[in-house]
Chains A and B, each alone.
Chain A
Amino acid sequence: MVRFILRRAALGLLVALTVMTLAFMLTRLSGDLAISIAGPGATQEDIEIIRKAYGLDQPLYIQFASWISRALVGDLGNSYFFKDSVSNLIAARMPITMTLGLVGLGLALLVSIPLGTLAAMREGTWVDRAVTVVTMIGQATPSFWFGLILMITFGLTLGWLPISGTGSWQHFVMPGIVLAMTATPALTRLTRSGMIEAIASDYIRTARAKGLTRRSIIFKHALRNAAIPVVSIAAVQLGFMLGGSIVVETVFALHGVGFLAWESIAKNDFPVVQAVVLVLATIYICLTMLSDILNALLDPRIRST
Chain B
Amino acid sequence: MSAPLLEIEDLSVTFNERMAAVRNASFRIGRGETHCVVGESGCGKSVSALAVMNLLVSAAKRTAKRLSFAGEDLLAMPEKRMAQLRGNRMAMIFQEPMTSLNPAYTIGSQLTESYRRHKRASQRDATARAVKLMGRVGITAPEMRLGQFPHQLSGGLRQRVMIAMALMCEPELLIADEPTTALDVTVQAQILRLLNELKDEFGLSILLITHDLGVVARVADSVSVMYAGEVVEHTTARQLFADPQHPYTRGLLSCIPVPGKSQRDKPLGSIPGVVPQVSVGFSGCAFRSRCAFADADCAGTINTQTATADHNYLCRLTPTRQKELARA
Contact = CB atoms under 8 A, between A and B. Distances in A.
Contact of B102 (A209, A211, A213, A221): A221
Interface in A260-305: 299-301, 304
Given A212-B83, A304-B149, A203 B118 contact: no
A300 B84 CA distance: 30
A224 B117 CA distance: 19
Contacts of A212: 83, 87, 113-114, 117
Contact of B100 (A206, A225, A300): A206
B88 A203 contact: no
A129 interface: no
B165 to A, nearest CB: 7
Interface string B238-252: 000000000000000
Nearest to B80: A213
A205 B162 CA distance: 12
Contacts of B117: 210-213, 216
A231 interface: no
Contacts of B94: 202, 205-206, 209
Given A210-B114, A211-B117, A224-B105, A205 B100 contact: yes
A207 interface: yes
B71 interface: no
A203 B86 contact: no
Interface in A49-75: none
A201 B99 CA distance: 8
B96 A209 contact: no
A208 interface: yes
A206 B101 contact: yes
A175 to B, nearest CB: 35
A210 B102 contact: no
A184 B242 CA distance: 66
A209 B103 contact: no
A211 B114 contact: yes
Contacts of B91: 209-210
B85 A211 contact: yes
Contact of A213 (B83, B149, B165): B83
A15 to B, nearest CB: 31
Nearest to B97: A202
Nearest to B55: A208
B86 A210 contact: yes
A248 to B, nearest CB: 35
Contact of A300 (B96, B104, B162): B104
A203 to B, nearest CB: 4
Contacts of A210: 86-87, 91, 113-114, 117, 165
A211 B151 contact: no
Nearest to A305: B151
Interface of A: 201-203, 205-213, 216, 221, 224-225, 228, 299-301, 304
14 contacts: A203-B99, A203-B100, A203-B103, A206-B94, A206-B165, A209-B87, A210-B113, A211-B83, A211-B85, A211-B117, A212-B83, A212-B113, A299-B104, A304-B151
